[in-house]
Structure 1
Amino acid sequence: MADPTPPVPSHAALDWREDGQPVSTAFDDIYFSTASGLEETRYVFITQNRLPERWAALTGSDIFSIGETGFGTGLNFLATWQQWQRLAPGAPRLHFVSVEKYPLHRKDLERALALWPELATFSEQLIEQYPPLLTPGVHRLKFDGGRVQLTLSIGEASDAFTQLQTEDPQRDAMIDAWFLDGFAPSKNPDMWRPELFSAIARLSADNATFATFTCAGIVKRGLKGVGFEIEKVPGFGHKREMLRGQLASADPQASAGQQYTQTPWHLPDAPTRGQPCTVAIIGAGIAGATLARALAERGLKVAVFEQGAGPGSGASGNDQGILYAKLSPKPGPNGDFNLQALQFALRYYLCQCPDAVHFDGLLQLAQSEKEQGLQQQIADTLRGWDADTLVRPVSAQEATDLSGVPLDVPGLYLPNAGWLEPRNVCSTLLEHPSITLHSSQRIESIEHRENHWQLSRHRETFHADVLALCTANGIRDFARTKPLPLQPIRGQVSFAQATDRSRKLKIALCGEGYIAPAHRHHHNPQHSFGATFKLKQTDTEVRAEEQQENLDTLRKLLPDIAADFAQNPMTARAALRAATLDYLPMAGPVADWHSLADTYAPLRKNRKQLIPQRCHYQPGLFVLGGLGSRGFTYAPLAAEVVASWISGEVMPVEGELVRALHPMRFAIRALGKDRPLNF
């Protein structure tokens, strides 16, 4: 029988010396040089990897990617970011990819980085974005308007690097320089094992360099074994020697493209890294807006086509949107993505559109015994993490005190979540010099001709190298994406004028329904509440019975406020969400349906067999949809996934989630169950 007690998370255990230096108690080793950790970083990693001269040669939309073993206090990242800002030209981007088995608590990170006041401008931004729940998996942080990206993979080093791989040799080989840091091999031999060096080889770009403080034999042998040329050079401070080198020839076993560990149904043709291209996006709701912004920040020219009068004309067009996630006590794609998407979204909106967000707090209330039991399991799972800044359990009395209105049920309190202004968010995200918005433009057909996409409307045509469909249920209006199993869900939101009682509501409430605090930007402040959930219903006329349904749902939570609302005229808006069968978004490329069906036909007889072949994909065709009722939570991270597919970058989520979000997952499941694909 499984142990019902959730595992205690593994954070770094530290002692602090009198001079302020942190020491790992697990490894009995320091995090940086007591002489000058910052100068050591600059000498060992920046100078010995020849980064200043290599950065000076970058042009246009080039990406320079650095891989690091052992994020630790983040000192190497911050020192690199500082030098990048000082030395690198304006357009190229820096992508820093690091792994860490034992991440620091935020309070320890602050204390350690306080030793380096000259990095304060950078360390303050890192501390502000440092995820409160650095759970095992991949975490993406963005700085300088997306020009600097940090991808932090939590786990044992070789495993953490492995989970960043897609098993596409061309796509995975993207690290230009390695910072082989971490605790000394004599203190931490388990990290410096053959699997780590094989992972490093698979992730290395042509002529990748490395630098490391150590000259240990296990490191020299490991690097030579996967194709690196090794050179000894003088070390820093009291260290007589260190190693640096360059990849001469990759280990064929480490980089062989045909050695798949699972069927590569998810892999399209990899793009040429850093190649400039134009992108057309159909749809200017939250999916299209977040994807457009992600691509524009990568230096791509983006044209967005919206059939409505402006951004957020469809399901993204309500007055108020609630930012919440379906947290789960169980590991798995749904729970993992919800947690990662929530943390990413909270950072994202405060950075991208602070004037359109109201993150004053949110309560997810447990209105049933089942929900109370689930929330208790979530609270138990989070115990031991730095979770309080993200979510914590509260009693009914605490919920009352926090919300300003009487509540008789407990819940989970998210102090930094809340609500936002959907149309304002979409419009703000699309305000970028590399984005052109075409409103009132209904695209009627799409065709791929002569290596580009042609979009047609009446007698007008538009061209782009890449096409992304972000039109919710409209994704199925095009023959090339019609087989994708999206289902419409009608939702009606109610609006009521604020009353003396309702004005006391200070934060957003979610339970069986939701209500947001009064939107004070209106001439007459009003609340949004609801919303109904009508699966496979597609009309958008306002219905009196759904208005009553929303009132009845609110009455269970706030009976007095619901009674006040019922005494006055109310308005409503109905729109269609688009959901998938497993309620995870679709974020990725679209295969050629015939090729996929033929290549993976053997799955009909044995769905578990490994088929080491790739099928053809429709060139440059991507979708971002199926966001359901959590679009504003899901869209920012899902858009990063699609943008990483398009630009050929390290993914912002682990490989399991890349496949769990992939649009073709449903076709593969259908083949495994010997069902038709309906194309």
Structure 2
Amino acid sequence: MPEAWAHLPQWRVLDTDFGSGLHFLTLWRAWRADPQRPRLLHVVAITPQAVPAEALSSPELAAQWHALLPGFHRLSFDDGRVLLTLCVGALEPMLRAQRFEADAIVFSGPAEAVKLVARYARRGTHLTSTTDTQAVRDALAQLGFQVDATQGSGGLRAVFDPAWDVRRREPPPEHLDAPGRCAVIGAGLAGAAVASSLARRGWQVTVLDAADGPAAGASGLPVGMLAPHVSSDDALLSRLTRAGIRATWTELERLLEAGRDWRPTGALERRPDGDVRVPPGWSAQGPNESWPATGAQLASAGLPAHTAALWHPRAAWVRPRALIGAWLQQPGISLRTGARVASLERSGGGWRLQDAAGATLAEADRVVIAGGVDSAVLASALPLQPVRGQLEWGRVPLADAALPVTPVNGDGHLIAHVPDADGALWLTGATFDRDSRDTAPTADGTMANRERLARLHPGAAAALAPAFADGDARRWVGVRCASGDRRPLVGPLDAAAMPGVWVCTAMGSRGLSFAALCAELLAAHWHGEPLSLPATLAKALNTARL
């Protein structure tokens, strides 16, 4: 393996039988030990059912071995340079769920599955198989693999080298030969996440923002909430938020200080309609994590025992500014503030970014528009909608037990006891004012938030009433960016007219849930990497859906 992958930007492996992870761990150890290793190691592994965490021999792997429901799960190690996409489910559906060109394949399965596995091979792909039967050998040979005629204890070996030109039904994934220079427009959650993902792959990234500093727009709220969406039919948004939270969680643990920049508190989600149903097959024992709240969990949050609510253990409060700052400090990233990009002009094989006077702000091979509502300046054809949000915040009164330690959400949210140098913070809101860009706080917005808080947590509303009466409560306003279908937009702006210009925007009110996920999808598309989502879910975020 070291001879084959030396100095390459990435090495992609398909493993059709993850088991207890021995193949993955062996490959990971070889990658760590090799000074000429590729920049990134991708392993896509399939398993019909995840083994118990106790069966794993790696504490690092076991630490991320949670919530492994049927579907795709991206696990990240060694600062995001070793990526394991664990596909939980039957072999054939999982093989059909995505497409990439593997550099190596580890096969175990029936001969009938060989045709699907061959879709992942490029000329020169090496295959090893623990299933060494004549039927498997014949199937491999028919599909263009040159099979080693010898039979040994190491199993079957083959190389994909057909005597004919390979033709695929679908176009091959885009694959940039080498990283270059990229300009990212916007220094909020979306832009900072894109910059970090690209820099990790060797890009030199310039982030430009019109404001005086990063996190100046909707990403600049004092503290935000990271929590999943759960629906009884496990709808698209529910599956996307689970994947997004896993991606963000890895970054929070990697980059931020728990207890100061973020805290994995869990969250109680009130269901005003009383519907606490979860998808069929879920149980209190897992592998799902969200489940109807118990009386003890409700009591600890100061809510009556009869309250209809879900408990989300995989939830947290987060200071978005801290995460944005950590992403922008990664090697290979430079930040330029006070730089409002008004137009893009072709320049050789790349792009020139200009201000309103026509002065050049930056030149780059590729551009990513990630400027929230201001993305519309350069991407006017996209269905972007401004959504104003006002929230209220202040300092927690000393020894105030009425404010729950655990965040509560539902119709709005309440976060309290967030450590701060001038006293712990509380925060509640927010309004959802479509088609408004007004950043001035209003008394009507405050009243709406107080009414929302009274429904969400009556005890907290009563405890904070003096803060509002005395003028100690403060207000914050940001303008979110949403798409027409309320899903993020990740993809080329106009591949024919503006090659190399992409967008990563429209995170709505779920920037913490979606920014890291969307950034990794963008980088994977550029480099022909395995996707962290099934193809159907990835298409649900792509600009091509419009």
Q: Tell me: CA distance 1:197–1:283, structure 2 relative to 1, closer, same or farther (3 Å).
A: same
- The partner residue of 2:343 within 436, 439, 445 is 445
- How far, CA to CA, are the matches of 1:398 and 1:620 in structure 2? 50
- The partner residue of 1:256 within 155, 163, 167 is 167
- Identify the range of structure 1 (282-291 vs 460-469) with the bigger mean alpha-carbon deviation: 460-469
- How far, CA to CA, are the matches of 1:176 and 1:653 in structure 2? 20
- How far, CA to CA, are the matches of 1:440 and 1:649 in structure 2? 34
CA displacement at 1:340 relative to structure 2: 2.0
SS state at 2:141 partner = helix
Q: Tell me: CA distance 1:656–1:284, structure 2 relative to 1, closer, same or farther (3 Å).
A: same
Matched, 1:475 2:475: no
CA displacement at 1:644 relative to structure 2: 0.9
User: Which residue does 2:47 correspond to in 1?
Assistant: 100
- Identify the range of structure 1 (651-660 vs 493-502) with the bigger mean alpha-carbon deviation: 493-502
- The partner residue of 1:409 within 307, 312, 317 is 307
Report the AA paired with residue 143 of structure 1. F
User: Which residue does 2:255 correspond to in 1?
Assistant: 352
User: Which residue does 2:278 correspond to in 1?
Assistant: 377
- The partner residue of 1:242 within 139, 146, 155 is 155
Q: Tell me: CA distance 1:90–1:377, structure 2 relative to 1, closer, same or farther (3 Å).
A: closer
SS state at 1:133 partner = coil
Contact 1:329 1:381 in 2 (8 A): no
SS state at 2:408 partner = strand
User: Which residue does 2:61 correspond to in 1?
Assistant: 126
User: Which residue does 1:490 correspond to in 2?
Assistant: 388
Contact 1:178 1:211 in 2 (8 A): yes
SS state at 1:561 partner = helix
CA displacement at 1:338 relative to structure 2: 2.2
- How far, CA to CA, are the matches of 2:126 and 2:15 in structure 1? 12
CA displacement at 1:88 relative to structure 2: 4.4
Contact 1:585 1:626 in 2 (8 A): yes
Contact 1:201 1:250 in 2 (8 A): no
Contact 2:41 2:81 in 1 (8 A): yes
Matched, 1:455 2:356: no
Equivalent pairs: percent with the same residue? 26
- How far, CA to CA, are the matches of 1:659 and 1:88 in structure 2? 37
Contact 2:48 2:88 in 1 (8 A): yes
Contact 2:342 2:377 in 1 (8 A): no
Contact 1:489 1:579 in 2 (8 A): yes
Matched, 1:139 2:73: yes
User: Which residue does 2:514 correspond to in 1?
Assistant: 634
1:639-664 CA-to-partner distances (Å, cap 9, x unmatched) read: 11111112221111111112111113
- The partner residue of 2:453 within 549, 554, 567 is 554
- How far, CA to CA, are the matches of 1:278 and 1:414 in structure 2? 40
CA displacement at 1:219 relative to structure 2: 1.1
Report the AA paired with residue 89 of structure 1. Q
Matched, 1:217 2:160: no
CA displacement at 1:384 relative to structure 2: 7.1
More helix per residue: 1
- How far, CA to CA, are the matches of 1:484 and 1:412 in structure 2? 35
Instruction: Give unmatched runs, 5+ long, in structure 2.
Output: none
Matched, 1:279 2:213: no
User: Which residue does 1:188 correspond to in 2?
Assistant: none
- How far, CA to CA, are the matches of 1:52 and 1:377 in structure 2? 46
- How far, CA to CA, are the matches of 2:427 and 2:500 in structure 1? 39
SS state at 1:628 partner = coil
- How far, CA to CA, are the matches of 2:10 and 2:285 in structure 1? 34
Matched, 1:163 2:91: no
User: Which residue does 1:466 correspond to in 2?
Assistant: 366
1:218-240 CA-to-partner distances (Å, cap 9, x unmatched) read: 2101111111101144533xxxx
- How far, CA to CA, are the matches of 1:76 and 1:568 in structure 2? 63
Contact 1:589 1:617 in 2 (8 A): no
Matched, 1:523 2:422: yes
- How far, CA to CA, are the matches of 1:531 and 1:247 in structure 2? 56
1:388-443 CA-to-partner distances (Å, cap 9, x unmatched) read: 6x322114553122x25667623111224120011111001111111111122111
CA displacement at 1:154 relative to structure 2: 2.4
1:3-53 CA-to-partner distances (Å, cap 9, x unmatched) read: xxxxxxxxxxxxxxxxxxxxxxxxxxxxxxxxxxxxxxxxxxxxxxxx132
Q: Tell me: CA distance 1:407–1:475, structure 2 relative to 1, closer, same or farther (3 Å).
A: farther
Report the AA paired with residue 222 of structure 1. A
1:499-557 CA-to-partner distances (Å, cap 9, x unmatched) read: 24257521111021111112222313221111111111111111111112111211222
Instruction: Give unmatched runs, 5+ long, in structure 1.
Output: 1-50, 115-122, 166-171, 182-190, 261-266, 593-615, 667-679
Q: Tell me: CA distance 1:384–1:74, structure 2 relative to 1, closer, same or farther (3 Å).
A: farther
- How far, CA to CA, are the matches of 1:343 and 1:180 in structure 2? 28
- How far, CA to CA, are the matches of 1:86 and 1:204 in structure 2? 26
SS state at 2:191 partner = helix
Mapping of residues 39-50 of structure 1, within 5 Å: none
User: Which residue does 2:14 correspond to in 1?
Assistant: 67
| TM-score normalised to structure 1 length | 0.75
Q: Tell me: CA distance 1:90–1:246, structure 2 relative to 1, closer, same or farther (3 Å).
A: closer
Over the aligned positions, Cα root-mean-square deviation in angstroms equals 2.2
Q: Tell me: CA distance 1:348–1:206, structure 2 relative to 1, closer, same or farther (3 Å).
A: same
Q: Tell me: CA distance 1:154–1:250, structure 2 relative to 1, closer, same or farther (3 Å).
A: farther
1:169-191 CA-to-partner distances (Å, cap 9, x unmatched) read: xxx3x21111113xxxxxxxxx4
Matched, 1:113 2:56: yes
Report the AA paired with residue 180 of structure 1. F
Contact 2:175 2:526 in 1 (8 A): no
- Identify the range of structure 1 (444-453 vs 392-401) with the bigger mean alpha-carbon deviation: 392-401
Matched, 1:148 2:61: no
Matched, 1:505 2:407: no
Matched, 1:198 2:115: yes
| TM-score normalised to structure 2 length | 0.93
Report the AA paired with residue 197 of structure 1. V
User: Which residue does 2:326 correspond to in 1?
Assistant: 428
